[in-house]
Structure 1
Amino acid sequence: MRQLIKTGAEGNRDAFLQATEAVIRDERSKNHHLLANDLERILYSRAEIQGAPPIFADRLPKDKERGLPLLQIRESARLLDDVVLSDENRSLVDELLTEHHRSELLRSHGLYPADRLLFCGPPGCGKTMTAEIVASELSLPLAIVRIDSVMSSYLGETAANLRQVFDFITAYPLVVLFDEFDALAKERSDASEHGELKRVVNAFLQMLDGYCGKSLLIAATNHERILDTAIWRRFDEVLVFDPPNQEQLKRLLSIKLRGVRRQFEADDGDIIGLFKGMSHADVERVLRRAVKDMVLTGVEFLTRRNVEAAVRREDARRARMKRG
């Protein structure tokens, strides 16, 4: 343990790997197999992440029409406490993480961790952030499928791009986010849609059915009502993200105002009432503006006046968006 800390502090990567592997061997010799497996997963997945950019830069699939990469690779440092979830969603995420951290135990009984999730709900309610947190908690890179690159104007190219994506995510362990998922999985019975989109949905369903890689797939949509009915049963779990209720707003304010000197409490009912009907992203944007106002005006404490001014700006912004 002394050697492990010493090599880590010195930044000696090779010696650090050797010391860590020695700790893992020691734990395994004590029959602490679950701990040894978890340590191996953390060690080697982190090693893959650190060496990932040059490897992924050369191997990222690209759209033949424009040469654009079909995925964006990102390493997330988000923590589970960075997001405020409903009790049901928090329980589902905790269960998912436990399944993946103890996947060897499940596999020893012929079982497998859930690897296909569908996130539904309005914009700004934590879908993308939760995907980032899952990736961070599992020590895996986050791969965001670029829908703008995948969708092609050429006949058959969208399905070909999807095949490239699935081949790539089968080759590497990742958390894969299909954002704006409804663009790929819209209801096929919609008479207004052309035949090519229906072929894309068929192709996606076939690829999803045939997928057997080690990546965890997350599809996120703001428009779940237009998803094809055949999509739903392809996912192990469905998480519905709603705007925060009063209790969640209280927790959200507490998190976002942590370390900010202020003249009010985060659980002040009058302050919480100012954010009624806002999404998580709206709340964060308002608080960021309020803190900027505090800093730029040179005051020492965040006040209700700062928050109210930021809320008015947000209300005006939302009004413009509705008119647009």
Structure 2
Amino acid sequence: MTVRHILALLESHAEGDEERLLSIALSIAATEARAGHADDAAALKQAVQRVRDARRGPPVPAASPIPLARPRGELQSIVESSYPKTKLSGMVLAPATADKLARVVRQQEARATLREHGQTPATHLLLIGPPGTGKTMTAAALAAELRLPLFTIKLESVFSRYMGETASKLRLVFDQVAAVRGVYLLDEFDAVGARRGDPNDVGEMRRILNSVLSFMEESNSTDSIVVAATNHVEILDHALARRFDEVVEYGLPSADEGVAILKARLGKFKLAAKAIKGLREELGGLSQGEIVRATDSAVREAILDGRLEIAADHLAKMLRDRRAFRERFHPAT
């Protein structure tokens, strides 16, 4: 049993998370079995089973959410914490994307069962796709589904603020992943690859990359989910990309998906079915985020005008404005 296992056991005991404590015990049993200590492994598994047999009612994590964990010390300057409420059902996702995420949630919810059979749930996800397509929101939705805190690490900010110390700062994050169960979003993950070859790097990027590679290989007794989001998968180091359990690709929404996003965002505000049909063409080529912002703008105008109906021509104009903004900064090539 490693020091990390002991720390994780103490942490779960302090938080009153009995199910996590038992899961860690099963992880230790699996480690002992691989080391050839079959008797010790069997004894541990039997002890866990006795506790579960004696326990009445559902596991503690299923009965109530864990307390909101907040970064302390040096982590406060590089990690933001939140407790999201919007679940995956509140997102408009392509069927293939929804299936992959549902598989991750199912494995995480049954992580104790998987560990009893020497397996672990998917914990490392790579989300790729254009800006505004739902990658960041997915991390939040996973946290809500699993009733876990969301910890967001802005990698580009870490690089900028702690040049020369980035690897050691990320080590603090990695240690928290091993000690505190949650969903960890490594936002702007392409920064790991984008800075390769920088003449002013002085080996900093290589140290960071080696640190991340080392982390990806470490055991994660808390089964925390690490979500890396990038707009530029083509610049990621191949050795890094191979270490993810699931790669989820996001694209611009279809016409039907765009309409669904628009309707969901309108909420109690009304828009005639005929008007929605007329907006389908305006929705084409816009990301989820752009549709949301355009719809929110139309809703705000309706609120200020004291109306519960959305003016279709105004919403169409907002959608056209978003497209013009996109084309100005991202012209077609």
* Unaligned residue ranges in structure 2 (runs of 5+): 1-15, 17-49
Contact 1:179 1:220 in 2 (8 A): yes
Query: Offset of 1:155 from its aligned partner?
Result: 6.2
- Equivalent residue in structure 1 for 2:254, among 234, 237, 245: 245
- Equivalent residue for 2:225? 216
Which of 27, 38, 42 is residue 62 of structure 2 equivalent to?
Answer: 42
Q: Please state whether the residue corresponding to 2:133 is helix, strand or coil.
A: coil
Deviation larger for 139-148 or 153-162: 153-162
Match of 2:34 in 1: none
Cα separation, 2, equivalents of 1:166 and 1:117: 15
The alpha carbon displacement at 1:288 in A equals: 0.7
Deviation per CA, 1:54-103: give whole Å up to 9, x if none. xx35x2434xxxxx612111110112222111111100111111111111
What residue in structure 2 maps to residue 174 of structure 1? Answer: 182
Match in the other structure for 1:129: 137
Find 2:74's aligned residue among 61, 69, 90. Answer: 61
CA contact (8 A) 2:97 2:249 kept: yes
**Matched AA of 1:271:** L
Query: Any gaps of 5 or more consecutive residues in structure 1?
Result: 1-16, 18-27, 63-67
Offset at residue 140 of structure 1 (A) = 0.4
Partner of 1:233: 242
Question: Who is 2:37 aligned against?
Answer: none
- State the one-letter code of the partner of 2:58: A
Mean CA deviation greater in 68-77 or 123-132: 68-77
| 1:193, distance to aligned residue in structure 2 (A) | 7.7
The residue that corresponds to 2:89 in the other structure is 81
TM-score between both structures, scaled by the size of structure 1 = 0.78
Q: 1:317 aligns with which of 310, 321, 325?
A: 325
Residue 270 (1) aligns with residue 292 (2): no
Cα distance between partner residues in 1 of 2:102 and 2:162: 42
Distance change >3 Å, CA 34–CA 238, structure 1 → 2: farther
Structure 1 residues 154 and 108: alpha-carbon distance in aligned structure 2, compared to 1, 3 A threshold: closer
Alignment of 1:302 with 2:305, yes or no, is no
**Shift in alpha-carbon separation, 1:155–1:136, aligned structure 2, 3 A:** closer
Paired residue type of 1:249: G
Which of 125, 129, 148 is the aligned partner of 1:140?
148
Q: Which moved more, 1:292-301 or 1:282-291?
A: 292-301
After superposition, what is the alpha-carbon deviation per residue over 1:135-187, rounded to whole angstroms, capped at 9, x for unaligned?
00000000001324421576641111111111122110010000000112458
Q: CA deviation at 1:318?
A: 2.7
**Higher deviation after alignment, 94-103 or 313-322:** 313-322
- Equivalent position amino acid for 1:243 in 2: L
240-249 or 146-155, which deviates more: 146-155
1:211 CA displacement: 4.4
Q: Which amino acid aligns with 1:182?
A: D
Which whole-Å CA distance do the structure 2 matches of 1:303 and 1:34 have between them? Answer: 56
SS of match in other structure, 1:61: helix
The CA deviation at 1:272 is 1.6
Aligned mates of 1:87, 1:318 — CA distance in 2: 26
Q: Are 2:121 and 1:101 equivalent residues in the alignment?
A: no
Cα deviations across residues 227-272 of structure 1 (Å, max 9, x unaligned)? 0011121100000010101221132223222321223358x43212
Check 1:225–1:30 CA distance in 2 against 1; reply closer, same or farther (3 A cut): closer
For 1:154 and 1:71, the matched residues in 2 are separated by: 13
Q: Is the 8 A contact 1:174 1:216 kept in 2?
A: yes
CA–CA separation in structure 1 for the residues paired with 2:194 and 2:293: 31
Distance 1:297 1:140, change over 3 A: same
By how many angstroms is 1:47 displaced?
A: 3.7
Q: CA contact under 8 A between 1:187 and 1:227: conserved in structure 2? A: no
Distance 1:244 1:36 in 2: 39
1:187–1:226 Cα contact (<8 Å) kept: no
* TM-score, normalised by the number of residues in structure 2: 0.76
Q: Is the 8 A contact 1:186 1:228 kept in 2?
A: no
Residue 117 (str. 1) matches residue 125 (str. 2): yes
**Aligned residue in 2 for 1:7:** none
Matching residue's letter, 2:77: P
CA contact (8 A) 2:266 2:299 kept: no
Equivalent residue of 2:242, what SS?
Answer: helix
Measure how far apart 1:33 and its partner are: 8.5
Matched with 1:198 is: 206
Query: Identity over aligned residues, as a percent?
Result: 31
Alignment partners' CA distance in 1, 2:316 and 2:161: 47
